[in-house]
Amino acid sequence: MQITKWNLCVLITALSSLTAHADSLQISSEQRQSLDLTLYNQNLGLVRETRQLPPLTSEQVITLEDVSEQLQVASLRIDNAGMILEQNLNTNLLNQHNLLQHYIGKELQLARLNPVSGQEVISAVKLLSVDGNRALIKQNNRFESIPLNNQWRFIFPSLPGDLLSKPSINFRSDGTKKPQEARISYLTSGLQWSMDYVLTLNQAGDKASLDGRASLSNRTGTDFKDAQVSLVAGNLNNPGGNRHAEMLQADFSARGVARAAPKAVTQENLGDFHLFTLPRKVSLLDGQIKQVSFLNSDSIPVQRSYDYEFLVYPTLERNQHRVKPVLTLTFENEEQSNLGLPLPAGKVRTFTPDQQGMLQFAGGSQIGHTGKGDQVELKQGKAFDLSIHRKQTHFSKTFNGFLVGQELRISNSRPTAAKLVLTANFPLQWDIKESSFPFDKVMGGSARWQIDVPAKGEALLAFKVQMEKR
């Protein structure tokens, strides 16, 4: 058979295609053998996975599909796939914006819908530029600006080969002689977690149950299915350097579990942070916010107090203050209170039963990272049935300072007694000369009174304080 010039060109093209196919290999998430995610509080995640690879030839291009489009390239590590000669992150994704940018200066078809007749007219145009929601085209030696809406659409002759349907990594290595499980790890933005708590009080308000749920968020552009998820609580720096990436990618296989969180996660110390591991695998899809059970604890002793903090000025003051104290719920994060594990920072919503036993929302607060043995304080809002009337009763100058008298009249219209905590702050060195109730000195140069106000009754705190210039 005689080989014509045309047949030779076709043959060369076909052989080139086969050679390119042989020299490249796509590895999707279907070849994934294991997947571990570590999520941090500040828009950061660590992805560690293994994928099955066949024997690799030297310089062969391997493409790993289904990776995060926000991958931090400096943190990427590929092990057990031969000596890596080159690795790249490909995030030039196929979308309308990138497709239009590719065809700037090129010919394509423009379809226009006539809204009256319902007919569509297709014509050949040259795309000159795209600015926001308008495009500049050339048609029949005329230039026209058109809106990008449902009455106008471009018809593209083909899809560019450099635009990808999803982000990927490709690499070259010196090859391997047998099939391997490659280990891939990298840091990425777009992964994050936070805590939400629900505190449910009993009818008496002296005990509560605490339910914690971890909210996992995925904005990476890819799905993570059947992942073993760990959560790191704490505020750590992420300078983006290689050294920090290596620290985060340390081997966590030798884990000494410190204590099982109630009915949910296991916990361990990770340096100065805390690492929590969920008990079962989860699938975290792109764009998804998933809530998983973190802790459940019942019969936590709760103390209810009402707090009012004020400043005593070393000046003559004629104003009188009528205020409401802040309702505060406190409990101890210890084993005796059926807790005793690190509590990650998060929002706490409190519910209390009404007379029919229906739960009603009773305020919310936010806690910081709370270590074992620390006290948790939840400020719920201002009390309705407690009122404080405060006024200055004495002011005089002394040799090197001032003598100031204060009176606080507390009214309680509740059918039960209330515990009120009053904190006075002083801008100068101080010494209380007289007080109708005992007080304690607290850190920061303040005086604190704890007063039990009887049901449907009153209490009166009166004191005089000597303040001196330093």
Quote the pLDDT of residue 138.
86
14 confidence band (pLDDT: 50, 70, 90)? very low
DSSP code, position 244: H
- AA letter at 163: L
Lowest-pLDDT choice from 86-95, 292-301, 319-328, 389-398: 86-95
End-to-end CA distance of the chain: 110
Interatomic CA distance for residues 110 and 120, integer angstroms: 10
Which helix (H) or strand (E) segment holds residue 422: the answer is strand 418-425
Average pLDDT, the chain: 83
Residue with tokens 């099982």: 260
**123 confidence band (pLDDT: 50, 70, 90):** confident
Instruction: Answer yes or no: is pLDDT of 244 > 70.
Output: no
Average pLDDT over residues 173-197: 93
Residue 229 has a pLDDT of 94
| Torsion over CA: 76, 81, 87, 91 (sign) | negative
Rounded distance between C-alpha atoms, residue 458 and residue 388, angstroms: 10
At 13 the pLDDT is: 33
For every residue of 122-152, DSSP letters joined together read: EEEEEEEEEETTEEEEEETTEEEEEE-STTE
Q: Which residues of 64-83 are buried (b: 16+ CB within 10 A; e: fewer)?
A: bbbbbbbbbeebbebeebbe
pLDDT digits (tens, 9 = 90+) for 64-82: 888 998 999 889 999 999 9
**CA–CA separation, 429 and 398 (whole Å):** 14
| CA 288 centroid distance within chain | 13
Please check the confidence at residue 438 and state whether its pLDDT lies above 60: yes
Interatomic CA distance for residues 378 and 200, integer angstroms: 13
In the chain the domains, ranked by start, together with CATH numbers, are 96-155 (2.30.30), 304-343+371-468 (2.60.40)
203-213 residues labelled b (16+ CB within 10 A) or e (exposed): eeeebbbbbbb
Please write the tens of the pLDDT for every residue from 301-313: 999 889 999 999 9
Give residue 164's pLDDT band: very low, low, confident or very high (50, 70, 90): low
